[in-house]
């Protein structure tokens, strides 16, 4: 059976009080509508229609070709929003999920269970519900003695008996597609808000004698719809717990889950250890057996197996197997480390490749450079890559040695096996196996220090007189 989804993403989200369109607010690093689209896809939906309105272009720009789009120019209720998809889906046969773009916590397993129940019972509609100890503010799902749904009642319209019901409507539904659009043609806006409500379809089905089912999620947190910053924070908290648990069950050791942040799209191999203060964001991939943290921020980076990263920041970088980074290192975009590379304390790497076995141990800057294998770059050495107008490249070939406090003025090349003496400023390329020294010969002037002190003291006395 064909499975489709209509994702409602047209509301403005005024309560967010934000310039950012509501469904684009991130939860664990991914916009809410992105979570929803990914989840329906994993649940077996093959066609996605996103109903857009306010911020339509921003939503389209983010989701791209992953969905089809229909515009709801006027927000006249959920029923009206779904009806906007009629020209695209009205003639289709199959199952259609209707879900809001601000419900990032709904899981694949829940949507699969919802659709399986719906299809096995031949229902016209199946409502996703949740049990809440305190259901205040939510519509109640009223069932018959046989368990089928008889109606959904908003709290303000509940009788005392209905108000005591703890099963609530989450706002996610499963429909027989053809019956859905036929019923939508009968929905009116004869209500105080003068809007077309999707819930009215349930009453239309009931009057027609159709089967209406309900599927209760095992986790009430899945029902959270984010309408303000408080709910956004709650959703973030639940998602963080879910992600941390998933990684731990997959073999990752997380020393302190409460102080560890893992984004929704992060991949971590087994036997990796995360120490407190670790933040893993974007499309970061970490291999097996690595040790990350404490106090480390990694975004959109690829980390190999058996890597150590401590007290450091990595952005769009690659780190090969067996390498170590930090403490207090900064790997900027397009930094690529080979295997068994050492990047030590207070080292910054930018747009540079450092090949296997090389070391930049401390207090150095390597930018716009290609560093070969088994190279040693001493303390305080830098590649001088920018002249105020253009960036130039430094090349350091295999087995070269760059001493402490060396300036390599790009563009320049240090050949294979070459040796650059500490304190040198290199402006010309160094051939293979050559030694380069570029500094003024030291000269000691006996007793001259006393003359300098006397001169300084006299200057001070003249100033004070």
C-alpha to C-alpha distances, 220 to 135, 156, 246, 256, 465, nearest whole angstrom: 11, 22, 18, 25, 82
- 78 labeled part of a ligand binding site: yes
| 368 SS3 class | strand
Minimal CA–CA distance to 404: which of 463, 361, 351?
Answer: 361
Minimal CA–CA distance to 347: which of 328, 324, 334?
Answer: 328
- 385 labeled part of a ligand binding site: yes
- 386 labeled part of a ligand binding site: yes
- 237 labeled part of a ligand binding site: no
- 77 labeled part of a ligand binding site: yes
For residues 434 and 409, what is the distance between their CA atoms, to the nearest angstrom? Answer: 17
- 245 labeled part of a ligand binding site: no
- 134 labeled part of a ligand binding site: no
Return the beta strands (E) in 224-323 as ranges: 253-254, 261-262, 267-268, 273-274, 279-281, 285-286, 291-292, 297-299, 302-303, 308-309, 313-315, 318-319
- 332 labeled part of a ligand binding site: yes
- 86 labeled part of a ligand binding site: no
- Contact 129/219 with Cβ under 8 angstroms? no
- 321 labeled part of a ligand binding site: no
- 376 labeled part of a ligand binding site: yes
For residues 161 and 235, what is the distance between their CA atoms, to the nearest angstrom? Answer: 31
| Catalytic residue (choose from 54, 131, 362, 428) | 362
Helix ranges (H only) for 145-255 are 160-163, 177-184, 200-207, 229-249
Please state the separation of Cα 241 from the chain's center in Å.
15
Among this protein's residues, is 362 annotated catalytic? yes
- 79 labeled part of a ligand binding site: no
- 11 labeled part of a ligand binding site: yes
- 10 labeled part of a ligand binding site: yes
- Between CA 248 and CA 272, with CA 313 as vertex, the angle to 5 degrees is 25
- Contact 400/375 with Cβ under 8 angstroms? yes
Bind-site residues for Mg(2+)? 102, 227
Q: Which residues are catalytic?
A: 362
* Residue numbering of the annotated binding site: 8-11, 22, 72, 77-78, 102, 139, 154, 169, 227, 332, 350, 365, 376, 385-386, 404, 422, 439
């Amino acid at each position: 059976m064909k499975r489709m989804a209509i994702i409602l993403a047209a509301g403005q989200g005024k309560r967010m009080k934000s310039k950012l369109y509501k469904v684009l607010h991130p939860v664990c690093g991914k916009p809410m509508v992105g979570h929803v689209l990914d989840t329906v896809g994993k649940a077996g939906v093959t066609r996605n229609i996103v109903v857009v309105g306010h911020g339509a272009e921003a939503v389209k720009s983010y989701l791209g070709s992953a969905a089809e789009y229909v515009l709801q120019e006027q927000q006249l209720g959920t029923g009206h929003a779904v009806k906007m998809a009629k020209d695209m889906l009205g003639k289709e046969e199959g199952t259609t999920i209707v879900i809001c773009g601000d419900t990032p916590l709904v899981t694949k397993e829940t949507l699969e269970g919802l659709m399986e129940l719906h299809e096995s019972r031949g229902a016209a509609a199946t409502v996703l519900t949740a049990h809440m100890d305190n259901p205040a503010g939510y519509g109640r799902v009223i069932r018959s003695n046989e368990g089928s749904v008889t109606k959904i009642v908003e709290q303000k319209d509940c009788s005392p008996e209905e108000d005591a019901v703890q099963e609530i409507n989450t706002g996610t539904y499963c429909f027989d597609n053809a019956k859905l659009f036929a019923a939508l043609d009968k929905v009116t806006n004869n209500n105080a808000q003068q809007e077309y409500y999707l819930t009215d379809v349930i009453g239309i089905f009931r009057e027609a004698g159709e089967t209406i089912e309900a599927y209760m999620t095992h986790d009430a947190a899945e029902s959270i719809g984010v309408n303000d910053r408080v709910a956004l924070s709650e959703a973030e908290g639940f998602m963080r717990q879910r992600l941390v648990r998933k990684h731990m069950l997959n073999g990752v050791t997380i020393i302190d889950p409460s102080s560890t942040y893992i984004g929704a799209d992060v991949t971590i191999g087994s036997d990796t250890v995360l120490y407190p203060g670790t933040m893993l964001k974007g499309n970061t991939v970490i291999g097996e057996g690595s040790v990350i943290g404490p106090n480390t921020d990694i975004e959109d980076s690829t980390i190999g197996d058996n890597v150590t990263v401590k007290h450091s920041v990595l952005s769009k970088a690659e780190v090969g197997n067996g390498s170590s980074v930090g403490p207090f290192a900064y790997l900027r975009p397009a930094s690529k480390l080979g295997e068994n590379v050492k990047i030590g304390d207070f080292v910054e790497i930018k747009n540079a490749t450092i090949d296997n076995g090389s070391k930049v141990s401390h207090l150095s800057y390597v930018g716009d450079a290609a560093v070969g294998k088994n190279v040693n770059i001493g303390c305080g050495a830098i590649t001088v890559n920018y002249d105020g107008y253009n960036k130039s490249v430094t090349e350091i070939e295999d087995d070269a040695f760059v001493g402490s406090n060396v300036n390599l003025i790009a563009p320049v090349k240090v050949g294979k096996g070459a040796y650059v003496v500490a304190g040198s400023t290199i402006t010309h390329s160094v051939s293979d196996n050559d030694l380069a020294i570029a500094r003024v010969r030291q000269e000691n002037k006996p007793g001259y220090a006393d003359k300098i002190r006397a001169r300084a003291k006299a200057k001070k006395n003249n100033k004070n007189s």
